[in-house]
């Protein structure tokens, strides 16, 4: 039985109370994480504040970038071991895990480090309006202590997306990860030790609602960065408002894959099945609503059935697995209820319903499911399921398709598939989404492209220049460069002083 600890002020600390952690492929409990009380969060915030007030925030951006590269090197030294642990921890498949659960976070640490130049020099605006002379400067400064909440689906990946830009900007972090997937956050904390980061720069507190509430309401925390469900995110925003904290929110999605009449059949079907089913559908940007024109509906449904039926469900460690389990028994029950509700509201199950024989009985498996003949008001079509479920909706013309695509409270991601790129790009710009792909899906570039959800999908931006600067505050600094009192507004006040 593995015991996880909190990481506070550069040391491992065990908290009272424990939460069991299981292997999603088998349902067997393999570890325990602390259920941290408010006092443990207080200690972590105090450590982060001391580190912020110390030398960390005064390091140059280049110096902090070097620390991120050392973090990446320390993690990379454990690559194979970490892959094996995260297959068990997350249920990500042996083919999927090395790239997205471990390889991409390493690459992204280095990508963020390469953005240090965006913080290096202030913007300056010389002012010469005779007879006075001066200069305005805009300085980007760290916010302070960041409280970061990360989800279970991509635990190390999402830790990096928050910790790396926050640290690069000069902040310190208290990280509260999902208790369901503790391996990635623990690995990041160990890497902070191995890389020689000052104590308190990165802190990790495990736990559930008590720890979360303590962190978001803590007066010593200056900014909350949260990734998770819209329902929880809105509660976090409300709690943060009590102490006027800034928030960055990356929330839920119900992203459309809009198929234009001239779309390539094979590419579109494969791309959309991958996007909707990857990591058992547990991705906020998954395109889980496929909008297909009447003129080609039967053709697309036929190939979806053919391709969907050969998606292989197996334990995550099986290299032949296309998808593994969902994260927990509760998640499996939620997905199954959505499927049943979708059928009750008129959907037809094209693919799904049965799992292969021989799966571990305690595992949290859901058969890859394709539902067809839905209206957009079907619960399976308009609510985020977070499981391997694709809903297929027919439309009459492109205006109808755009209307359906935008008929959702979410606006996180979208894909448009079509051979005429000018037309496809034009349609893409009509969809309300922060991230839009044309003829592809699930592509990201953390250095150059921010993710900024619309509507109930988020507040602010992550990644890119916008996402980095979200972890800063701007200081406007004016310096007068002459002593010409006559040019100043206050030079005409109190003339009897002359």
Catalytic residue ranges: 250, 284
Residue 214 to residue 210: CA distance in whole angstroms: 6
Determine contact, residues 173/48, Cβ cutoff 8 Å.
yes
Q: How far apart are CA 184 and CA 156, in angstroms?
A: 4
Question: To which residue do tokens 């996007």 refer?
Answer: 275
Considering only CA atoms, which of 83, 246, 238, 248 is closest in space to residue 165? 248
CA nearest neighbour of 79 among 63, 101, 51, 95: 101
According to DSSP, residue 285 is labeled T
Q: Residue written as tokens 């969902």?
A: 326
The answer to whether 92 and 156 have CB atoms below 8 angstroms apart is no
A 10 A CB-CB count for 229 gives 15
Backbone angles phi, psi at 55, to 5 degrees: -75, -15
Residue with tokens 């279970």: 152
Assess contact for 380 and 315: CB atoms under 8 A.
Answer: no
SS3 233: helix
Q: In the numeric block, which tokens belong to residue 440?
A: 């592809």
Q: What is the DSSP letter of 103?
A: I
Around Cβ 77, how many Cβ atoms within 10 Å?
12
Both tokens of residue 15?
């908290």
Inter-residue contact 433 to 414 (CB < 8 Å) = yes
Q: Which two tokens stand for residue 273?
A: 């099945």
Run of H or E including 139? strand 132-142
Tokens read off for 212: 């979360």
């Amino acid at each position: 039985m593995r015991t996880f600890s909190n990481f506070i002020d550069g040391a491992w600390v065990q908290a009272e109370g424990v939460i069991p952690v299981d292997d999603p492929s088998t349902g067997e409990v393999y570890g325990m994480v602390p259920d941290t009380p408010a006092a443990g969060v207080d200690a972590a915030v105090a450590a982060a504040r001391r580190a912020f007030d110390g030398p960390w925030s005064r390091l140059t951006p280049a110096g902090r970038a070097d620390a991120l590269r050392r973090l990446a090197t320390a993690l990379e030294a454990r690559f194979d071991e970490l892959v094996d642990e995260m297959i068990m921890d997350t249920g990500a498949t042996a083919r999927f895990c090395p790239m997205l659960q471990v390889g991409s976070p390493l690459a992204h640490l280095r990508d963020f480090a390469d953005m240090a130049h965006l913080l290096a020099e202030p913007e300056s605006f010389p002012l010469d309006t005779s007879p006075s002379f001066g200069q305005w400067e805009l300085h980007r400064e760290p916010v302070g202590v960041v409280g970061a909440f990360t989800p279970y689906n991509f635990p190390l990946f999402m830790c990096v997306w928050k910790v790396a830009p926050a640290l690069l900007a000069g902040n310190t972090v208290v990280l509260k990860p999902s208790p369901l997937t503790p391996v990635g956050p623990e690995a990041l904390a160990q890497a902070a030790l191995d890389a020689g980061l000052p104590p308190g720069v990165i802190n990790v507190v495990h736990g559930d609602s008590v720890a979360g509430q303590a962190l978001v309401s803590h007066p010593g925390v200056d900014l909350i960065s949260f990734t998770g469900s819209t329902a929880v995110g809105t509660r976090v925003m409300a709690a943060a408002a009590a102490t006027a904290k800034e928030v960055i929110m990356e929330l839920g999605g119900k992203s459309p894959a809009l198929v234009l009449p001239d779309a390539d059949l094979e590419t579109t079907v494969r791309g959309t099945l991958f996007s909707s089913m990857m990591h058992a559908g547990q991705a906020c940007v998954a395109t889980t609503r496929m909008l297909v024109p009447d003129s080609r509906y039967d053709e697309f449904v036929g190939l979806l059935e053919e391709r969907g039926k050969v998606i292989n469900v197996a334990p995550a460690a099986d290299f032949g697995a296309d998808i593994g389990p969902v994260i927990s028994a509760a998640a499996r029950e939620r997905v199954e209820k959505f499927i049943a509700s979708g059928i009750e509201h008129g959907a037809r199950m094209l693919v799904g319903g049965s799992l292969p024989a021989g799966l571990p009985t305690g595992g949290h498996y859901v058969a890859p499911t394709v539902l067809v003949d839905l209206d957009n008001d079907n619960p399976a079509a308009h609510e985020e399921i977070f499981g391997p479920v694709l809903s297929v909706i027919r439309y009459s013309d492109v205006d109808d398709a755009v209307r359906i695509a935008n008929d959702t409270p979410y606006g996180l991601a979208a894909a448009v598939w079509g051979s005429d790129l000018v037309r496809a790009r034009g349609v893409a710009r009509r969809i309300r989404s922060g991230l839009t792909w044309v003829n592809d899906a699930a592509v990201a570039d953390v250095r150059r492209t921010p993710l900024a959800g619309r509507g109930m999908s988020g507040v602010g931006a992550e990644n890119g220049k916008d996402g980095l600067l979200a972890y800063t505050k701007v200081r406007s600094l004016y310096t007068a460069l002459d002593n010409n009192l006559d040019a100043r507004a206050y030079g005409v006040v109190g003339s009897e002083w002359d």
